Amino acid sequence: MSQPGAGPRPLWRPHVAGAALGVVLFLTFVVTGHGLGASGALARFAVAVEDVVAPGHVDRTPALAAMAGGARRPLDHWIVPAVLGTALGGLLSGLHGRRVRRETLRGPQVGREARWALALLGGLLVGYGARLARGCTSGQALSGGALLSVGSWAFMLSVFAGGYLIAWPLRRLWLAPDGGARGPA
C-alpha cells in the first residue's frame, strides 16, 4: 500500500473537495430522496440500546416510540447504513492518504487528559444541540441549506458566530508561549 517512511499524501484543494461534496449531496437527494445527515443515526443507536435496557420507557415516550416503539426496530432506517458507510469510507480514505495514526491534537497549555475531557464534553453538547436543532451540521447546513431553509441558514450563521466568539478567548490555549502554533503532542 505505502512505502515505509512515506509521508501523507497531499490534501484535496478546498474548492475541489467542496464541489465533490456538492455532487455527493445532489446524488444523495436523487438516489435516496433524503439529504445528508448523521445525528439521526446516533439517536437511533442510542434508542436501540435503550430499547434493550428499558423497552417500557421507550414505548411510553413518544419521541422514542416513533423510532423503536412496539415492533419497530430503530436500526432499520436508511440513515444507519449511510453513517456506517461514511465512517468506513473515512477510514479507507485515511488509510489511502496515509493519514491514520494515534495522536492528540492540543495546545501547550492543555494536558492530554484535559483535551480528551473537553472533546468528550464538547461532543456531548454538540450532540444534544443537534437533537434540539433537529439536525447536525450536515443535515441542517448542507441539506437544509441546499433547500434554502431559513432555519438551516440561521443555524449555520449561529455556528460560525459562536465559533468565532469562543475562538478568540480560547486561542491562548492553542498557541505556544512565543505566540506560534504548536503541532500534535
Tell me what the pLDDT averaged over the chain comes to.
86
The residue with greater pLDDT, 173 or 84, is 84
- What is the CB neighbour count within 10 angstroms for residue 33? 8
Residue 16 has pLDDT above 90, yes or no: yes
**Domain spans of the chain, in order of start:** 14-101, 105-176+181-185
In the three-class reduction of DSSP (H, G, I as helix; E, B as strand; rest coil), residue 175 is classed as strand
72-121 pLDDT tens trace: 899 998 889 988 998 999 999 999 999 999 998 888 888 899 999 989 99
| Mean pLDDT, range 44-57, rounded to an integer | 92
Q: What is the model's pTM?
A: 0.72
Amino acid 168: pLDDT: 85
What is the rounded average pLDDT of the residues 164-183?
Answer: 74
The yes-or-no verdict on residue 146 having pLDDT over 70 is: yes
More confident residue, 75 or 126: 75
Q: Give the pLDDT of residue 2.
A: 47
